Chains A and B, each alone.
Chain A
Amino acid sequence: MPGVEGFMYPNEVSLYWSVLIVLYPFITGLVAGAFILASLARIFRVEAVKPTYRLALLTALAFLMVAPLPLQLHLGHPERSYEMYLTPHRSSAMAMFGFVYLWYLMAVLVVEIWLDFRADIVALSQSTTGWRRWLYKAMTLGSDNVSPRALAIDERVGWLVTLIGVPSAFLLHGYVGFIFGSIKANPWWSSPLMPVVFIFSAMVSGIAAVMLLYMATTRLRRKPIDMRCVDTIAMYLFYIFIIDFSLEMLDLIHRIYEADESFRSLDFMVHTRLYFSQIVLQILVGTLTPLVLLFLAQVMKLHEVVRKRIYAVAGSLALVGIFAMRWNVVIGGQLFSKSFLGYTTYKMALATREGLLVAIALTILPLFILAVLVRILPPWPEAEHASIPEAV
């Protein structure tokens, strides 16, 4: 059998979860991470990251809108996916996805964004014309009450929603980790640390993504980058990255020291088929390198330009590392036989429904959605709390 080494149960030779299932935790991770960065500003009152607050919310929304697509495309029968809402199976970790997703999208993100942008929406519904006017009119839900008292209520309700949102973001992504961590048949996945590792890696990727997006959009708009803001974000990124890396190493050390029945098989896999994606991409390039860079930026007095470059490189590498981590979990978990006697190979298709091109398209799609969102609801710090927002 080509691509097979040793013995696989015959049904295990082909992989059932493709690169799209790698994308799914990667994208939901970005959502959860971006939201947690936003909540830093709002709940934990970290004033310095305020300029990214609204951008982080819209980023989370853009990625959340794409998050179910890879799942949908990978289903054998996408047209039946609504059954998840009709007859959710209570004992299935996956059945709750639809509800956790809807809860997070509707009850948390959309409400928080709506409350935060409501004053702008009302103003825009009066200053714009044509179809835009109708769009904003619809978004006001027919209420143009932006009296100070109404806005004060919005502020308090919004704070409450964010407060609920933080555990919800943990739930959204911790739950994705649980989907893998609760599969006792698969020793590469089965670990109570899995949801926790997923949450922290989600924060790393989300914070890195918003930091990069903030720097990129500010530069595109030819505005000065608020260094106090990115320095603070980088600091949080560094600390959370350390926690994430420690957890992953804890998992690894635990596996090595326990060396249970699956260990020889998994150890061999990490040193051969997963060597590049796990050791090189995830650990060396995607974790240790950005950690060292961020550490240098913390302890050394570096020039602003150098710091910006360091942040851009470290943020990009962190995203590569987290993507590699998702890859190693999802694909790695299917490369070895549950008999622990052999290994198979993942052959990524190019132009099929679950192929590379679709995966690339799905990775870029949120950026386009974000571009549309920022045109409808400008999140830029200069526009915030201005009486009449900039025309778009």
Chain B
Amino acid sequence: MRIFKDAGHLFRLAGLFAAGTLLFLVIRSFIVPRSFGQYGHYRGAAIAEIAAHPIHFAGHQTCETCHSDIAQTKSGGKHAQVNCEACHGPQAKHADDPSIDPGKPDTAVLCVRCHAASAARPNDFPQVDAEQHAGGVPCQTCHQPHSPAIGAGGAK
């Protein structure tokens, strides 16, 4: 068969390509992550890795296991729906080890974040012009943050 003889170089080329493809497939079978395709076209193990990230906010349920007294005060007041860490910040470290100081929030910064009067805020949300309202007197002089309404059992 002369055609095979004269096309011999083409068969060599084809052989080279076939060998390359085969090598690729062999390497591929070794280095594709083992959990790839477990749930879909991704590395299944990634889900557990993401789920394993550490938490920083302990969650109010955790806070309330120790601070049930505060939870009690809060539950009757205007801030009943405001979670602990909304004001106190992330406390997972303190929850794991109570000897770690949780820090004391600064009411001068905190209160006005939500309650400074602004036309942009919903009308029914309590807001004050802090300067006019208190004239420099700290908020907690009159309002107890855990139950802020004056005369509602929480006032000082």
B6 and A86 contacting across the interface, CB-CB below 8 Å = no
* B24 and A153 within 8 A (CB): no
Secondary structure of the A contact surface, majority rule: helix
Asked whether A141 and B32 contact (CB < 8 A) given A85-B24, A89-B41, A149-B2, the answer is no
| Smallest CB separation, B54 vs chain A (Å) | 24
Does B10 lie within 8 Å of A106, measured CB to CB?
no
- Cβ contact of B28, chosen from A85, A106, A154, cutoff 8 A: A85
Interface string of B1-44 (1 = CB under 8 A from A): 01101111110110011000000100010011000100001000
Q: Are A141 and B6 in contact (CB under 8 A)?
A: no
Complex Cα gap A153–B3 (Å): 9
Contact present for B13 and A111 (CB under 8 Å): yes
- Residue A87, interface by CB 8 Å: yes
Tell me which residues across on chain A come within 8 A of B3, comparing CB atoms. Answer: 153
- B32→A145 contact, CB < 8 A: no
Cβ–Cβ contact B17 & A118, under 8 A: no
Alpha-carbon gap, A86 to B43, bound state (A): 12
A201 to B68, CA, bound (A): 71
* Number of residues on chain B facing chain A (CB within 8 A): 18
Q: Are A86 and B8 in contact (CB under 8 A)?
A: no
Given A87-B36, A89-B41, A114 contacting B6 (CB threshold 8 A): no
A87 and B8 form a contact (CB under 8 A)? no
How does the 8 Å CB contact mask read for A144-163 relative to B, with 1 for contact and 0 for none? 01010110011001000000
Instruction: Report the minimal beta-carbon distance from A244 to chain B, rounded to whole angstroms.
Output: 35
CB of A94, distance to nearest CB on chain B (Å): 14
CB neighbours of A154 from chain B (8 A): 10
A-chain residues with CB within 8 Å of residue B32 when the two chains form the complex: 86-87
Q: How far is the CB of A288 from chain B (nearest CB, A)?
A: 46
Contact B8 A143 (CB under 8 A): yes
Closest to A90 in B: B41
- The answer to whether B28 and A147 touch across the interface, beta carbons within 8 angstroms, is no
Chain B CB within 8 A of A140 CB: yes
Q: Count A interface residues, CB 8 Å.
A: 21
Q: Are A141's CB and B2's CB within 8 A?
A: no
Given A85-B28, A86-B28, A86-B31, verify A145-B9 contact (CB < 8 Å): yes
A116 to nearest B CB, angstroms? 13
Would you give the 0/1 interface string for B38-58, flagging 1 where the beta carbon is closer than 8 Å to chain A? 000100000000000000000
Does B41 lie within 8 Å of A153, measured CB to CB?
Answer: no
A89 to B24, CA, bound (A): 18
Question: Chain A residue with minimal CB distance to B7?
Answer: A153
- Is A153 in contact with B12, judged by CB distance below 8 angstroms? no
The complex places the Cα of A345 from the Cα of B18 at a distance, in Å, of 49
- Which among B5, B13, B28 is the interface contact of A114 at CB below 8 angstroms? B13
Q: Check B28 against A153 for contact (C-beta < 8 Å).
A: no
B18 to chain A, nearest CB (A): 12
Does chain B have a CB within 8 A of A76? no
Q: How far is the CA of A150 from the CA of B8 in the complex (A)?
A: 9
Closest residue of chain A to B2, judged by CB? A149
Contact check, B28 vs A150: say whether CB atoms are below 8 A apart.
Answer: no
Whole-angstrom CA separation of A107 from B13 in the bound complex? 10
Q: Which residues in chain A, 229-271, are within 8 Å of chain B measured between CB atoms? A: none
Residues of B within 8 A of A (CB): 2-3, 5-10, 12-13, 16-17, 24, 28, 31-32, 36, 41
A-B CB contact pairs (8 Å), 23 listed: A85-B24, A86-B32, A87-B32, A87-B41, A106-B17, A111-B13, A118-B9, A141-B9, A141-B13, A141-B16, A142-B12, A143-B8, A143-B9, A145-B5, A145-B8, A147-B6, A149-B2, A150-B6, A150-B9, A153-B6, A153-B10, A154-B10, A157-B10
Interface contacts beyond A87-B32, A142-B12: sample of 6 additional A-B pairs, CB < 8 Å, sorted by A:
A86-B31, A141-B9, A143-B8, A149-B2, A150-B6, A150-B7
